[in-house]
C-alpha cells in the first residue's frame, strides 16, 4: 500500500503523511498547528492586501495623477484632433477697445461625474498654434454705422468656421461679449450694434447662437471670468487629492446646511494695467458690514455663482470679491502724479515768487525718476522741467495721497469696500505691471519678497541714468524692456509697492504673491472663464446619457475601495468557516479512531485460542 510522507525542519511533532488508508491524518493536525497556520495565513493575506492597496493608492493613484497632470499640460500643446466625434467646440469673441479677438475652445466628452467641470482647452491647428485671430479697430468705431457690425465681425467667424468641423457647427455655442469697447457708448448705440449681430449672424452661420449670447459685460463680470480662468488652469476647482494640498474652510453661500466645507484654496488675482488696477479673490467666510451703506456698496463688488452643472449642489459655489480701480494703473497713476506736482509747484512758485521747474537750469527735483535723468511736463501752455533724484522712499511718501485712502474700516483704494483677506491662508497672482515691475528691469519675477524688492528698487532709483542706459545697451534687461520702462521703473516700482502694501493692506512679510506673465506657459484670457461659466450645464446631457446606458463611471473610487473591504470581510468569514469545519472533522476523526481502536482490541483478543497459547 503506497504512502507519501512530508517532513520539514519544523518541530518534531509537525509530521504529515498521506496514504490510501491514512489520508484522514491530513485532517488531524494538533490544535496549536491549526492556530498557527490560520494566524499565519491571515497575517500573510493582510500583508499582501496592504501592499496592494498601498501600491494602488500611492504608486498608482498618486503617481498616475501626477503623470496625468503633466501629460495634460504636454498634450495641451498638440494639434486638436478634428476627426474625433467626441470633441466639442465653443467660440468666444472679445470685443475690446482697440480691437476684437476670437478664441476657439474645445473639450472632450464629459466623464459623467457631476462634481467635475468640462475639460476645456484652446483649440490648436495642425501647426499646434492656438486658433485665435484679432482685427482692428474696436467695434466702438461703428457707433454711427451699427448696420455694419455683422460685416465687421464676419472675418472672425469665417476664421472659426474654417477650423471647426462643419458637422459640429450646429452644436457649437458662440458668445460675443463686449467689454470696454462698447461700455464707452450710450445704451442706444450699444443696442443698435448688438441688434445687428443678433439678426444677421443666425442667417449667415449655423453656430448655436441666441440673443443672450451677444451682450456688453460689466467690469465685474470680466473680473469674475478672469478669476475663473486662472483658477481653472491652476486646477483649483478639482477635488482634494493629496494631503499636502492647501485647503480652505468655506461657508458656502446659499447652502441649506450652515456647516463649513473643506476644498482646495483658490488663488486671488491682482492685475495692474496701464489705466486701471483690478483685484479679485474668493471670500470664504460670511462677511459683516460696518454700516448699511457699506453693505449696499458691497453687493456691487461681491459675486456669488455656481460653476457646477447641478444648481442644487454647493461644491462649486463661490463668493468672489471683484473691484476695478480706474486711474490706478501704472500709466494713469504717473499722469495723476505729474498733474499733482505740476499744480502744487505752480502754486508754490506763485506764493513764493520763484521759478522752480520753469527752466532747465532750475529744474523740479523729482524723487520718482532715476538719478540725473531729465524729463519735462507740458500742461496749460507751460513746460515744467524735471531732474531725477532717485529717492525711492521719498517717492513712496509723495504718492501715498494719490491712493485716496479712507479712515473707514474694511476699505481700500479710493475708499472702496474690501472684505478681509485671509493673509495666513491665501495665495495671489500678480499680472501686468506686477510682473513688469519685478522682472523687466529688476529680474526678480516669480515669488515676491518685499525686502528684496525694496532693496533692488532703491538701488535702481539711486543709479545714475547714464549707467542704466549703458546696461540697457549691453542687453542686461529683459528683451521687451524699452527706454520708457527704464525711465518710469522707479515710479512704477514705488506705485506697485504702495498699492499692494498700503492700498490693499498686505503685510510686508506676505510670502504668497507670485508675479507672472503666464500660467503653465500659457497666457490665460478671461474668455476661458467666460466659456467655462456659460457652458456649465452642458455636462448634464452626458450625465443623463451615462445613466440611461447604465454605465458605471470610473470615478466611483469610494465604491471601489468599499468592495475591497467587503471582499476582505467575506474572505475572513470563509476562512473562519474552514477552520471551524476542520475542527469539526478533527473531532469526528478522533471518535472514529477511538471506535476503531476498541474494535481492533476486541478482534485481537477474540483471535487468541487457549490451545495455541499453551503450546507457546
Q: Which residues contact 379 (CB under 8 A, 6 or more apart)?
A: 338, 339, 342
Give the closest residue to 65 by CA, choosing from 557, 553, 539. Answer: 557
- Are the CB atoms for 323 and 412 separated by under 8 Å? yes
Give the closest residue to 414 by CA, choosing from 288, 282, 323, 299. Answer: 323
Q: Is 597 exposed, middle or buried (0-12, 13-18, 19+ CB in 10 A)?
A: exposed
**242 catalytic per annotation:** no
User: Between vectors from CA 265 to CA 260 and to CA 267, what angle results, nearest 5°?
Assistant: 135
Question: What backbone phi and psi angles, to 5 degrees, belong to 315?
Answer: -60, -35
Question: What backbone phi and psi angles, to 5 degrees, belong to 101?
Answer: -125, 145
Q: How far apart are CA 77 and CA 121, in angstroms?
A: 10
Q: Across-strand partners of 464? A: 371
Question: What backbone phi and psi angles, to 5 degrees, belong to 43?
Answer: -60, -45
Provide the total of helices (H) and of strands (E) in the chain, helices listed first.
Answer: 17, 20
**Adjacency order of strands within the sheet including 268-272:** 302-306, 317-326, 276-282, 268-272, 428-432, 513-515, 446-447
Report the half-sphere exposure of 342 (CA within 13 A, side-chain side). Answer: 17
Q: Is 605 exposed, middle or buried (0-12, 13-18, 19+ CB in 10 A)?
A: exposed
User: What does the DSSP 8-state code read for residue 124?
Assistant: B
Q: Which of 116, 187, 222, 604 is catalytic?
A: 222
If one counts every other C-beta atom within 10 angstroms of the C-beta of residue 378, the result is 10
Task: Match 471670500 to its residue by C-alpha cell.
Answer: 283
Ordered alpha helix ranges (H), 216-373: 219-233, 292-299, 330-352
User: Which grid coordinates belong to 355?
Assistant: 521759478
Give the closest residue to 134 by CA, choosing from 167, 159, 105. Answer: 159
Residues tagged in the binding site annotation for ATP: 274-278
Helix (H) or strand (E) holding 317: strand 317-326
Q: Is 547 exposed, middle or buried (0-12, 13-18, 19+ CB in 10 A)?
A: exposed
- Are the CB atoms for 412 and 505 separated by under 8 Å? yes
Q: How far apart are CA 282 and CA 316, in angstroms?
A: 12
Residues tagged in the binding site annotation: 274-278
Question: What backbone phi and psi angles, to 5 degrees, belong to 430?
Answer: -105, 125
- Are the CB atoms for 432 and 332 separated by under 8 Å? no
Q: How far apart are CA 25 and CA 4, in angstroms?
A: 12
As annotated, the active-site residues are 222
Amino acid at each position: 500500500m503506497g504512502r507519501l510522507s512530508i517532513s520539514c525542519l519544523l518541530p518534531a511533532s509537525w509530521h504529515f503523511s498521506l496514504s490510501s488508508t491514512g489520508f484522514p491524518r491530513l485532517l488531524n493536525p494538533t490544535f496549536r498547528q491549526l492556530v498557527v497556520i490560520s494566524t499565519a495565513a491571515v497575517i500573510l493575506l493582510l500583508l499582501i492586501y496592504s501592499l496592494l492597496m498601498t501600491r494602488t493608492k500611492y504608486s498608482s493613484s498618486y503617481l498616475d495623477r501626477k503623470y496625468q497632470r503633466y501629460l495634460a499640460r504636454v498634450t495641451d500643446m498638440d494639434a486638436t484632433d478634428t476627426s474625433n466625434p467626441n470633441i466639442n467646440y465653443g467660440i468666444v469673441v472679445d470685443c475690446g477697445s482697440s480691437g476684437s479677438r476670437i478664441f476657439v475652445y474645445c473639450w472632450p466628452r464629459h466623464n459623467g461625474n457631476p462634481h467635475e467641470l468640462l475639460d476645456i482647452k484652446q483649440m490648436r491647428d495642425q501647426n499646434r498654434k492656438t486658433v485665435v485671430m484679432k482685427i482692428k479697430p474696436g467695434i466702438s468705431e461703428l457707433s454711427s454705422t451699427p448696420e455694419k457690425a455683422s460685416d465687421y465681425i464676419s472675418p472672425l467667424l469665417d476664421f472659426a468656421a474654417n477650423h471647426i468641423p462643419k458637422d459640429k457647427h450646429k452644436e457649437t455655442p458662440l458668445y460675443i461679449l463686449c467689454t470696454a469697447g462698447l461700455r464707452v457708448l450710450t445704451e442706444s448705440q450699444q443696442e443698435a450694434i448688438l441688434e445687428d449681430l443678433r439678426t444677421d449672424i443666425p442667417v449667415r452661420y449655423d453656430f448655436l447662437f441666441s440673443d443672450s449670447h451677444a451682450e456688453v459685460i460689466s467690469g465685474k463680470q470680466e473680473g469674475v471670468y478672469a478669476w475663473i480662468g486662472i483658477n481653472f488652469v491652476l486646477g483649483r476647482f478639482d477635488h482634494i487629492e493629496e494631503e499636502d494640498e492647501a485647503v480652505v474652510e468655506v461657508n458656502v453661500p446659499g447652502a441649506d446646511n450652515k456647516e463649513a466645507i473643506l476644498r482646495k484654496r483658490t488663488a486671488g488675482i491682482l492685475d495692474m494695467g496701464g489705466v486701471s488696477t483690478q483685484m479679485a479673490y474668493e471670500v470664504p467666510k460670511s462677511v459683516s458690514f460696518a454700516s448699511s451703506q457699506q453693505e449696499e456698496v458691497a453687493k456691487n463688488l461681491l459675486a456669488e455663482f455656481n460653476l457646477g452643472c447641478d444648481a442644487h449642489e454647493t461644491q462649486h459655489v463661490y463668493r468672489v470679491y471683484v473691484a476695478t480701480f480706474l486711474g490706478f494703473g501704472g500709466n494713469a497713476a504717473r499722469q495723476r502724479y505729474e498733474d499733482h506736482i505740476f499744480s502744487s509747484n505752480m502754486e508754490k512758485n506763485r506764493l513764493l515768487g520763484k521759478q522752480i521747474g520753469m527752466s532747465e537750469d532750475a529744474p523740479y527735483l523729482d524723487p520718482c525718476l532715476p538719478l540725473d535723468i531729465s524729463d519735462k511736463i507740458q500742461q496749460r501752455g507751460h513746460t515744467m522741467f524735471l531732474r531725477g533724484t532717485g529717492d525711492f522712499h521719498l517717492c513712496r511718501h509723495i504718492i501715498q495721497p494719490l491712493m485716496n485712502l479712507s479712515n473707514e474700516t474694511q476699505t481700500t483704494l479710493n475708499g472702496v469696500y474690501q472684505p478681509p483677506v485671509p493673509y495666513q491662508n491665501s495665495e495671489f497672482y500678480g499680472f501686468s505691471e506686477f510682473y513688469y515691475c519685478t522682472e523687466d528691469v529688476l529680474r526678480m519675477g516669480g515669488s515676491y519678497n518685499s525686502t528684496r524688492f525694496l532693496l533692488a528698487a532703491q538701488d535702481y532709483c539711486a543709479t545714475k541714468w547714464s549707467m542704466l542706459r549703458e546696461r540697457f545697451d549691453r542687453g542686461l534687461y529683459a528683451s521687451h524692456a524699452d527706454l520708457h520702462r527704464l525711465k518710469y521703473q522707479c515710479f512704477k516700482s514705488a506705485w506697485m509697492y504702495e498699492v499692494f502694501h498700503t492700498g490693499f493692506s498686505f503685510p510686508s512679510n506676505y510670502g504668497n504673491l507670485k508675479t507672472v506673465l503666464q500660467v503653465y506657459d500659457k497666457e490665460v484670457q478671461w474668455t476661458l472663464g467666460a466659456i467655462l461659466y456659460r457652458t456649465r450645464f452642458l455636462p448634464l446631457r452626458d450625465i443623463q446619457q451615462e445613466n440611461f446606458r447604465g454605465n458605471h463611471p470610473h470615478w466611483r473610487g469610494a465604491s471601489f475601495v468599499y468592495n475591497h473591504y467587503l471582499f476582505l470581510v467575506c474572505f475572513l468569514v470563509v476562512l473562519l468557516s474552514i477552520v471551524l469545519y476542520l475542527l469539526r472533522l478533527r473531532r469526528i476523526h478522533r471518535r472514529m479512531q477511538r471506535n476503531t481502536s476498541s474494535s481492533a482490541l476486541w478482534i485481537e483478543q477474540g483471535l487468541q485460542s487457549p490451545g495455541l497459547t499453551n503450546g507457546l
